[in-house]
Amino acid sequence: IPVDPFDLVIFGGTGDLARRKILPGLFRRYRSGQMPDGSRIIGAARSDLDGAGYRKMIADAIAEFGGDEAGDQDCLSKFLTCLDYVPIDAKGTGGWSELAQLVRKDVVQAFYFSVAPSLFGDLAERLHTNGIASANSRIVVEKPFGRDLESARALNRTLATHFDESQIYRIDHYLGKETVQNLMAVRFGNVLFEPLWNNHYVDHIQITVAETVSVAGRGAYYDRSGAMRDMVQNHLMQLLCLIAMEPPSQFGADAVRDEKLKVIRALQPVDAHHIVRGQYDAGPDGKSYREDAENPRSFTESFIAMKCHIANWRWADVPFYLRTGKRLKARSSEITVVFKDLGHSIFEGDEARHRNILSIRLQPNEGMDLQVTIKEPGPGGMRLIDVPLDMTFADALGDKEVEVADAYERLIMDVIRGNQTLFMRGDEVEAAWRWTDPLIEGWEARNDVPKLYDAGSAGPEDAMMLMHRDNRRWRDIK
What's the closest the beta carbon of residue 347 comes to ligand BG6, in angstroms? 42
Q: Which is nearer to ligand BG6, 120 or 315 (CB)?
A: 120
**Catalytic residue (choose from 235, 309, 344, 354):** 235
Q: What is the number of helices (H) and of strands (E) in the chain?
A: 16, 15
Q: Which is nearer to ligand BG6, 107 or 227 (CB)?
A: 227
Report the C-alpha gap between 320 and 259 in whole angstroms: 18
Q: Which is nearer to ligand BG6, 177 or 307 (CB)?
A: 177
CA distances from 387 to 94, 358, 376 (A): 65, 12, 10
- Contacts with 66 (C-beta within 8 Å, 6 or more apart), sequence order: 24, 27, 28
Q: Which is nearer to ligand BG6, 320 or 408 (CB)?
A: 408
Task: Report the b/e string of 305-342 with b at 16+ CB within 10 A.
Answer: bbbbbbeeebbeebbbbbbbbbbbbeebbbbbbbbeee
- Helical (H) or strand (E) element with 207: strand 202-210
Report the C-alpha gap between 30 and 415 in whole angstroms: 15
**473 phi and psi, to 5 degrees?**
-140, 150
Q: Which is nearer to ligand BG6, 230 or 292 (CB)?
A: 230
**176, 410 Cβ separation under 8 angstroms:** yes
Report the C-alpha gap between 176 and 372 in whole angstroms: 31
Report the C-alpha gap between 284 and 362 in whole angstroms: 29
What's the closest the beta carbon of residue 414 comes to ligand BG6, in angstroms? 17
Give the 3-state secondary structure of residue 75. helix
Residues near ligand BG6 (CB under 6 A): 211, 213, 230
Q: What is the CA radius of gyration of the chain?
A: 24
β-pairing verdict for 138-141 and 168-170:
parallel
**81, 54 Cβ separation under 8 angstroms:** no
What's the closest the beta carbon of residue 434 comes to ligand BG6, in angstroms? 20
**Helix, strand, coil percent values for the chain (each to nearest 5):** 40, 20, 40
What's the closest the beta carbon of residue 312 comes to ligand BG6, in angstroms? 28
Q: Which is nearer to ligand BG6, 43 or 226 (CB)?
A: 226
What's the closest the beta carbon of residue 392 comes to ligand BG6, in angstroms? 19
What's the closest the beta carbon of residue 32 comes to ligand BG6, in angstroms? 21
Q: Closest residue to ligand BG6, Cβ-based?
A: 230
246 CB burial (10 A radius; 0-12, 13-18, 19+): middle
Whether 204 is a known active-site residue: answer no
Residues acting as catalytic residues: 235
